[in-house]
Each structure stands twice: as structure tokens, then as C-alpha cells.
Chain A
């Protein structure tokens, strides 16, 4: 199984688990595993692999959620791409930068999703409840992102370390 496939499988299970846990806890207190896994994909897969996996993950999220088909896919894919680009500059494999990055990404992704939905409805009504929810959710994701990304890194070791071969056609993340 390829590393991208494995990460997709893990993320899929995480998404379903999130849907169950959300029945017992307020939604903003349940970590957004789709978002965290998209960040992890950006860190541990190549940019092409990360984009593909996060797009597929977003599509699954769209199916299991009230968002429009493609809405979360677009947001998660963008996030994975940005993570992949910003990894070296921001040292995102370290816990603190990653936590801050996850928090900022949560606020940006949440605001983008809500704004795009509101625009479709022809109205954009920001409210205090939404802002508080975004901040709470950002804090939860900031706590969860570093250990989860580290766990993904351990489960999916870098291909060069594992096989000693150079990246294949799909870059660092796909194909093996």
C-alpha cells in the first residue's frame, strides 16, 4: 500500500470517528481530523501526494457533511499545499510552530468555509458566536495537531529512509 493510500485510510477512519464523537461533545470541541490530516499530509507526503490525498479527504468530508461537494476538498487541498510550501521556512515539524500553524489554519479554513457558504446565500453575517467557536476550535486543533502529525510521521517513514531510493513519478509521497 502506498504511503498516500495509508494516510488516506487513516484519515478516513478519523473522519468517521469524528462524526461519532460529535454526537456526544459540542462540535467545536471535537478536533477537525480532516484538517489536521491535511496538514500532516503536507508535512509527510510530497506536494503532489499531499494535494491528491487532501482533495480526496475533503471530498469525503463533503459527502459526510452539509458542505457543498468540492467545498472542503478545495480548502483542504489548499491547506496541504500551503503546509508543504511553508514546511521548511516555518519549521513545521517542530511542535510549537506546528501548533500555531494549525490554529491559524483552522481559523482561516473555518472562515473560508463559512464565508463561501454565506456568499452562496447572498449574505455575509459574521457574529460573535462564530468567532468564539473558531477560536475554541483553533485551540483544540492546535493541541491535537503536533502529536497526530508526529504519529503520522512515525507510521509513514520517509521513503528515502525506508527504501533508499529516490522519489518516483508522483514525487516524494506516491507510488510505493
Chain B
């Protein structure tokens, strides 16, 4: 009898928790579709705690790695090299953005808009940890709401798009990488005589999948793909990657290509969060903040 009661208790508990998990999943999915959310204090606390714990655990490894880098490779030369590399990367990025503006319209106004876009303030952040599951691709950052970060802000490094902030706490945040299966970015081929548009999706692997909007679109190996600005999340002209393979697709309605990301996700240490959210996301979040508890966000 006691055994039966214990089993019944376990079954009831399992059913209750499974229902709770499903409700949480649906809620989280809705929040993610709206660009992510600011985590409540109880869950944010854990994320905040992770950063110092991670620093403590990683300190010996980082120390050895730092020593090798700094003293073997000569401190001054390395720093100078890094500064120059940063400068080159910034100029390259500016170059890409200006080329994008010129190609798109060839008008001074576009260039000015692009320059304004490039003036978006950025918050540097250190990568404080990788995803704890091998089936998802996200990173923890050591900067949060106290530093101006909000869910839905784009994350980049000197090479291009890294991902998107999906959760923030006062002192930490989580960003979903482009590689994640849930990641979708609206991209466009930068070549002037192509301008093929499509969705760039994460595959969970090291490469991205470019689903072209038009089957006859002109895409070639070596084409640079940048953000189109149409997805309502990323500003226009940020580098996504290079086309390395074009799949003809046979009878399929969708033509796809494989993209090698511009960012080396295996070596991410420092990233920059663009302190910018698209007008669509701003409206969505403003509506959520104004809505009474329990109300549905617009568009959901």
C-alpha cells in the first residue's frame, strides 16, 4: 500500500512538473520570438553567480594561457599588434558598411545614414562561459542591465555578427550565437549584380544555411553575405560570412547555400554589444512594460 502511494506521488509529481515545464517552454519561446527578455531576479541571480564562479575555476587556466601569450610572445609587441589588428578590423568593417551603402543606393543620404549607424554606441563584454549543453550555442557575457544591455541587442566582434542578446540580468547576459538552430538572420549577398536575399539560419554545426528567397537568385561561392536590415533585429551591412557551397536543391522549392561565418566562434573572448534595438523590438518591449501582468504582448 505504501509502495503504491509512493508511486502515485511520483507519477503526480512528474505530471505536474511536466505541465509546468511545457508552460515555461511556451512562455520562453514567445519571449524569444520577441527578442528575448530580462530575467527575473531569482533566475538572474544564478546567472550573476556563474560569472565569479567561472572566473574562479578558469583562473589557473587563464593564468597559464595569459603567461604564454604575454611573456613568450613579448608583451609590448603583442599589445601593439592587437591595437593594429583592432584598427584594421574596424576599418574593414567601416569599409564593408560604406560599400554596402554605396551599392544599395549610391546616394549621399545612404552614406550618412550608414555613418550614423556606425556611430551606434557599443559596450565591450568578456565571454564568461559557453553553453552547458552541446546541443545549443550560446555564451554568457560579464555585462548586464547595469551596463545598458537589453534583450534583443545585436552582439558583434571585429569580424562580424556574433549573435543576439536573449536574456539579461543586472550584471550578466546570455547571447544566442548565429550557429544555434534557433537563430535566423535576414541576409543579403553584397555583390552589386546579385543582391540575393534570404534567411541565414544556424544549423547547430560550424556553418550556416542560407535559404534564398528566390530560387533563381544569383549566388556564387566566395560571395560575402551581410545583414539586410529587414529582419528587424540587426542593422544593415554587418558581415555574416562567406558563401562556401551552393546547393542547387533539385526539385526543392528552396535553394540554399552554405556560409562560413566571418566570426571564429571557437576563439571568442571579447565581443561588443551594440546598444541599439530595432524600432520594432523597442515597440514590442515598451508595450510589454506597459501591459498589466499576464497580458499578451502584441503580435504574439
Contacts and interface: CB of A to CB of B under 8 A. Distances in A.
Do A and B pair up? The answer is: yes
Interface size class of B (residues with CB under 8 A): 35 or more
Nearest to B54: A20
- Label chain A's interface by main secondary structure: helix
Given A72-B133, A113-B133, A120-B29, A16 B13 contact: no
Given A19-B50, A22-B130, A67-B133, A121 B181 contact: yes
Contact of B22 (A20, A27, A30, A74): A74
A52 interface: yes
A67 to B, nearest CB: 5
Nearest to A77: B17
Contacts of B27: 69
B61 A24 contact: yes
Interface string A47-76: 110011001001011011111111111100
B28 to A, nearest CB: 4
B14 A81 contact: yes
Contacts of A17: 57
Contacts of B166: 66
Interface size class of A (residues with CB under 8 A): 35 or more
Nearest to B133: A65
Interface in B44-59: 46-47, 50, 53-54, 57-58
A98 B70 CA distance: 45
B136 interface: yes
A120 B182 contact: yes
Contact of A70 (B22, B57, B134): B22
Interface string A18-52: 11101110011010101000000000001110011
A60 B61 CA distance: 25
A125 interface: yes
Contacts of B124: none
Interface string B122-137: 0000010111111111
Contact of B10 (A110, A114, A171): A171
A149 to B, nearest CB: 19
Interface in B176-219: 176-177, 180-182, 184, 203-205
A137 interface: yes
A61 B22 CA distance: 16
B21 A46 contact: no
Contact of A66 (B13, B180, B184): B180
Nearest to A12: B46
A153 interface: no
B74 interface: no
B251 interface: no
Contacts of B24: 68-70, 73
B73 interface: no
Contacts of B127: 23
Contacts of A22: 129-132, 134
A68 B29 contact: yes
A95 interface: no
A68 B6 contact: no
A129 B205 contact: yes
B277 interface: no
Given A63-B47, A117-B182, A20 B134 contact: no
Contacts of B174: 64, 66
B9 A66 contact: no
B21 to A, nearest CB: 4
Interface string B33-68: 000000100010011001001100110010000000
Interface of B: 6-7, 9-10, 13-14, 17-18, 20-25, 27-29, 32, 39, 43, 46-47, 50, 53-54, 57-58, 61, 127, 129-138, 140, 166-167, 174, 176-177, 180-182, 184, 203-205
19 contacts: A23-B58, A46-B6, A48-B10, A51-B13, A51-B17, A60-B46, A63-B46, A63-B167, A64-B50, A66-B133, A70-B28, A73-B21, A73-B24, A78-B14, A113-B136, A114-B135, A114-B204, A130-B205, A137-B134
Given A110-B134, A121-B184, 9 more contacts: A16-B132, A24-B61, A48-B13, A65-B133, A66-B180, A73-B21, A74-B18, A84-B10, A127-B203
